[in-house]
Amino acid sequence: MSVETQKQTLGFQTEVKQLLHLMIHSLYSNKEIFLRELISNASDATDKLRFEALARPELLEGGADLKIRVSFDKASKTVTIDDNGIGMSRDEVITHLGTIAKSGTADFLKNLSGDQRKDSHLIGQFGVGFYSAFIVADQVDVFTRRAGLPASEGVHWSSRGEGEFEVATVEKAERGTRIVLHLKPAEEEFADGWRLRNIIKKYSDHIALPIELPKEHYGEEKDKPAEPEWETVNRASALWTRPRTEVKDEEYQEFYKHTAHDFEDPLTWSHNKVEGKLEYTSLLYVPGRAPFDLYHREAPKGLKLYVQRVFIMDQAEQFLPLYLRFIKGVVDSNDLSLNVSREILQKDPVIDSMKSALTKRVLDMLEKLAKDKPEDYKRFWSAFGQVLKEGPAEDFANREKIAGLLRFASTHDATGEQSVSLADYIGRMKEGQDKLYFLTGDSYGQVKNSPHLEVFRKKDIEVLLLTDRIDEWMMSYLSEFDGKQFVDVARGDLDLGKLDSEEDKKAQEEVAKAKESLLERLKGVLADQVAQVRVSHRLTDSPAILAIGEQDLGLQMRQILEASGQKVPESKPIFEINPQHPLIEKLDAEPDEDRFADLSHILFDQAALAAGDSLKDPAAYVQRLNKLLVELSA
């Protein structure tokens, strides 16, 4: 390297300072991950060069032989990672190594628990891999030059991880990046060929380009060559191109960690080669936990796309629907052209065929996980269940398959866990039952105690309890499963079909007829608030309840629309009364019309509260209730 010019001393972004402090003070127990992260970054840099060189071959600068070299010097106590990938310009160095614009470091810091083993997993999740170098080094030097720039525009970045870094311009003949780690006194074990070789074999054997170490000579000093001889220590072949029988589980797991930048093993994976009309290979993974930005609109998603083993795109979103955005992995196609771009991807019919097949493969993978490893599927559902619930609206063709993967709380299980599948529910259906009953609400506590369930408890009929904000919207797209219709127990006129005996139906008709005058009085009082007043077939213990009109929006959907600032269509609930309840009997016998009106409004407001709704006029409700209490205490 030549003399440095244009030297600047700059300060780290505040969050990076905090992060470096944690790294330097050995928060992380798994120290060898630094090499895995730096090799992974070097691999990404060569992928980016391959892709950019498709349009601009001159970027290869006459050297298309891409590789990563790891060397060490015991005397100077350094480890060096060298790649001939895309490299960085001065501005890119300052941006990528001085700040973390999109890595979510603030979230990373919030999520630290103080448990070293757990916290070390967060490094990959939050994309802060480069800074893991400071786990073992008290100084890090980076020498880099972006492909295509002249040798005089090389950059030297240096920091001791103490809040500042230096950037200078240097001469660098070769494109790419060299990272020199000056090891801390306690970490000199890493300046050892055998140690480095083992770490590379353990974590980076799957990297699809050669990772070279200097060949070690064990004879006399004079026998050593003047220039080091390099030997490849990894397989250096794309893992997904190898036959499944030749790939160990540990290799699949390490490849996932490299691809997803995760530190935990995946729950399951599927490696498949398709031949025939379409030719492509896919390696798909289901992660063990949700990333922090799963619900961020701009969060990276999609598969790594290769065409004939040449890297094309890091987040190809076109191969899986949005509700499967948590899936990680690789797709390598022989049927797409090498100059493929985002525009071509959006229009190519081959993509549609591949998307359909890959979607089915993911759903089959999840079905197998649910069947063979229910505990792992429980972890999956906890992490990604709400995302999967977007599926019925987005993917009509696979609606039934997605529905089979959904999990719900139900009246059958008092724990409130979402662990009941629709197959479980159907297996427990009562004789004569031909409907799948469900109830939506804000919380498990609210729905499990809802008056809407009273007749179902009496007849011992299981009801699914849906409490996620997305549930009512999802059920509007999920009308049936296995030929059986879904029925919202809070909507419309409840008909239990064969579950009601002829005697029950006859008794209901007679009661409704006998209470016609009471219903008319209530309609007169509540005309502005209700669409209809009728005798309830739902209630056994409560005096009154509010039902939703068959075509009306439920409470969840109304709240979602209101929160998003959209206009909510006006609708009125149906007021149902339990004629056998003592309060309704007293109401029916009340001769004073003013008192009748007050009692009717109190019952209506109580029914609204029981449904989880807020009162339109809380003050009026309190006044009426206080008036009633005074009368009772007189």
For domain 502-633, give the CATH number.
Answer: 1.20.120.790
Q: How many contiguous H segments (helices) and E segments (strands) does the chain have? A: 23, 22
Give the angle subtended at the CA of 539 by the CAs of 420 and 557, to the nearest 5°: 55
3-state secondary structure of 224: coil
Architecture in CATH of 407-493: 3-Layer(aba) Sandwich (3.40)
- pLDDT-derived band at 152 (thresholds 50, 70, 90) equals very high
- CB contact burial 297-330 (16+ within 10 A = b; e otherwise): eeeebbbbbbbeeebbbeebbbbbbebbbbbbbb
**In CATH, which of 1.10.1040.50, 1.10.540.10, 3.30.565.10, 3.40.50.720 is domain 5-237?**
3.30.565.10
pLDDT tens digits along 124-145? 444 457 878 888 999 999 999 9
pLDDT value at residue 181: 97
Q: Are strands 574-577 and 532-535 parallel, antiparallel or unpaired?
A: parallel
pLDDT at 391 exceeding the cut of 50:
yes
Identify the CA nearest to 291 among candidates 121, 96, 135: 121
CB-based burial label for 353 (10 Å; 0-12, 13-18, 19+): middle
pLDDT at 103 exceeding the cut of 80:
no
pLDDT tens digits along 29-88? 578 878 988 998 898 889 889 888 888 899 998 888 999 999 999 999 999 999 999 999
pLDDT value at residue 27: 47
- pTM of the predicted model, to two decimals? 0.72
pLDDT value at residue 127: 44
pLDDT value at residue 633: 73
For the segment 250-270, the average pLDDT, to the nearest whole number, is 89
Rounded Cα–Cα distance for residues 148 and 360 (Å): 43
- pLDDT-derived band at 22 (thresholds 50, 70, 90) equals low
pLDDT value at residue 51: 81
pLDDT value at residue 192: 94
* Radius of gyration, alpha carbons of the chain: 33
Sheet of 544-547, strand order: 532-535, 574-577, 544-547
pLDDT value at residue 104: 43
pLDDT at 428 exceeding the cut of 80:
yes
On whether the CB atoms of residues 23 and 15 are closer than 8 A, the answer is no
pLDDT tens digits along 432-483? 899 999 999 888 888 898 899 998 998 899 999 999 988 988 998 999 999 9
Domain coordinates in residue numbering, the chain: 5-237, 240-378, 407-493, 502-633
Rounded (10°) CA dihedral 381, 384, 385, 389: -150
For domain 240-378, give the CATH number.
Answer: 3.30.230.80
On whether the CB atoms of residues 237 and 208 are closer than 8 A, the answer is yes
Roughly how many angstroms between the first and final C-alpha of the chain, as a whole number? 98
160 or 237, higher pLDDT = 160
pLDDT value at residue 482: 93
Per-position DSSP letters for 50-119, written without gaps between them: HHHHHH-GGGGTT-----EEEEEETTTTEEEEEE-SS---HHHHHHHHH--SSS-HHHHHHH--S-HHHH
For the segment 294-298, the average pLDDT, to the nearest whole number, is 73
pLDDT value at residue 124: 43
- pLDDT-derived band at 211 (thresholds 50, 70, 90) equals very high
pLDDT value at residue 128: 56
For the segment 561-575, the average pLDDT, to the nearest whole number, is 76
Percent of the chain with pLDDT over 70: 87
Q: Which range scores top for mean pLDDT: 425-429, 517-521, 585-589?
A: 425-429
- pLDDT-derived band at 344 (thresholds 50, 70, 90) equals low
Rounded (10°) CA dihedral 341, 343, 347, 348: 0
pLDDT at 582 exceeding the cut of 70:
yes
pLDDT at 238 exceeding the cut of 60:
yes
For the segment 98-104, the average pLDDT, to the nearest whole number, is 49
